[in-house]
Amino acid sequence: MRTMPKIELAKAKWARKMAKAGPKWRKGVEEAVREDLYRKGLALFSGQTPGTEMATNWAEGVLQVSAEQFQEAVRGKEEKWATKLLRAIAA
């Protein structure tokens, strides 16, 4: 039996992982909004505290996306994911 190249294995793993990602993503988003993790993360990254309006706009936008919508958005994108990964590694 011939072994798949490593990037092919990674793409297959990503596809399997993303096939069930919607509910987990939604739970994480709800936690991020509840715990104000978006603002905290930006503050750690930038050294500046983002304004409330920025965090509110992010929360309002991201909460409009359902788990099913997220799931549909990532379905079948393993080739795009792998291309970006390889590009980032080569940079």
Extents of the domains making up the chain: 1-19+75-91, 21-69
Phi/psi of residue 67, nearest 5 degrees = -60, -40
Q: Can you give the C-alpha Rg of the chain in angstroms?
A: 17
The predicted structure's pLDDT at residue 91:
87
Tens digit of pLDDT for each residue in 28-49?
A: 999 999 999 999 999 999 999 8
Of 3 and 72, the structure prediction assigns the larger pLDDT to 72
Prediction pTM value: 0.74
Tens digit of pLDDT for each residue in 47-59?
A: 998 899 999 999 9
